[in-house]
């Protein structure tokens, strides 16, 4: 089975092999994957970090041999990346492979930090707030557009914690917290529509949550769910809270 790497800023993963198909995910610079099927214009791939699968354009990736790459993580909303003589943006959460062959062709304009260098208590809120006001985008995982579970997945990446891609998958891990009085920074709150998990956000403190809804924003959290003070109404019904850390 072939392996691939994304060397563009971010590329779309499609539900079916068509440019008009729904974007179900994004692959960021440096992320690697297994190539399970190759057609004339499209490849069906499985991401290595979360096993998510979908179709990507054959013109938007490179085939590689080594999947066991060490990497640095981009801690800036945007930095400049130069591949040979061509510059392109490098966005928050991208992975910079530490590989001798790649190091000869990559040049990063700003210092980047290893994700394991970020102590949770002092950095978690800072990292979470880097995405504030990022517009909501179904399937998105970047500051230019991100969905609710893409947001939680990206924030936890900085602390070497790999969450599944979708909210319903994230709801299956961690330990359940039964009382709002017991929540801690970094707990995940899950919300339902007709008894189905449809939304997730990160608890900042007992009555505050940061989540992607319209944009990445901070709202009030109570036993009923998320209360939007702009709309003066509850927008999401609380299902349960899970502790990941």
Catalytic residue among 6, 115, 199, 236: 199
Catalytic residue among 6, 115, 211, 236: 211
115 is catalytic: no
Are 210 and 129 in contact by the 8 Å Cβ rule? The answer is yes
Catalytic residue among 6, 107, 118, 148: 148
148 is catalytic: yes
234 is catalytic: no
| Catalytic positions, written as ranges | 148, 199, 211
């Amino acid at each position: 089975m072939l392996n691939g790497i994304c060397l563009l800023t971010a590329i779309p993963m499609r539900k079916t092999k068509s440019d008009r198909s729904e974007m179900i995910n994004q692959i960021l610079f440096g992320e690697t994957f297994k190539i399970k099927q190759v057609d004339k214009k499209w490849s069906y791939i499985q991401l290595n970090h979360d096993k998510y699968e979908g179709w990507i354009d054959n013109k938007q990736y490179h085939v590689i041999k080594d999947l066991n790459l060490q990497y640095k993580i981009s801690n800036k909303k945007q930095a400049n990346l130069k591949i040979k003589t061509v510059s392109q943006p490098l966005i928050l959460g991208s992975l910079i492979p530490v590989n001798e062959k790649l190091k000869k062709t990559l040049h990063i304009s700003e210092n980047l930090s290893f994700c394991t260098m970020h102590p949770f208590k002092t950095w978690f809120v800072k990292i979470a707030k880097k995405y504030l006001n990022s517009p909501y985008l179904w399937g998105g995982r970047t500051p230019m557009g991100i969905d609710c579970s893409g947001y939680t997945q990206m924030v936890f990446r900085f602390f070497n914690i790999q969450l599944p891609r979708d909210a319903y998958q994230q709801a299956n891990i961690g330990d359940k917290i039964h009382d709002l009085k017991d929540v801690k920074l970094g707990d995940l709150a899950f919300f339902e529509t007709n008894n189905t998990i449809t939304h997730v956000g990160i608890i900042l403190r007992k009555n505050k949550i940061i989540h992607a809804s319209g944009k990445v924003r901070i709202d009030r959290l109570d036993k009923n769910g998320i209360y939007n003070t702009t709309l003066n109404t509850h927008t999401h019904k609380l299902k349960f809270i899970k502790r990941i850390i």
